[in-house]
Amino acid sequence: PRCVLHPDGRCRTAMDILTLAAMLYDAFAVPFDMAWRPEWSVVLFVGAMATAIVWTLDMLVNLNSGYYEDGILEMSRRRIVRRYLFTWGLVDLTINAVDWFSICSVFWEEQWRGVGDGGMT
């Protein structure tokens, strides 16, 4: 099938490595942020953006990756999408939405931070 990734292919493996890196970053950054609530710096903002992009790309890759079921390779796009939506799709969508909402709210807050006093801060 056209544009369906093989689950053992290079692209899928590369995405798995990227998601591992994002997972390791999140494993340290999220507890750090929750425990000490530091001011958002460029480093934290870029890290949050990078991981949100990786998780969003991961959703797209999952929607386009074949899978094995009972040892048989499944490459039907309809079955791939159906399986993903009924397994991890809703969870991934919810987590991604929260990530992007958090990033946008921090960005929005920074953009409007000095508006009340004439933008002098």
Q: Dump pLDDT digits (tens) for 79-112.
A: 999 999 999 999 999 999 999 999 999 888 877 7
The reported pLDDT for the residue numbered 115 is 55
Question: Is 90 exceeded by the pLDDT of residue 119?
Answer: no
- Supply the DSSP symbol for 65: B
Question: Hey, which residues does 74 pair with through a beta bridge?
Answer: 67
Q: Is 68:83 a contact under the CB 8 Å cutoff? A: no
What are the φ and ψ backbone dihedral angles of 68, each rounded to 5 degrees? -100, 135
The CA distance from 90 to 96, in Å, is 10
- Enter the pTM of the model: 0.85
Question: By mean pLDDT, which of 22-26, 31-35, 36-40, 66-70 is the weakest?
Answer: 36-40
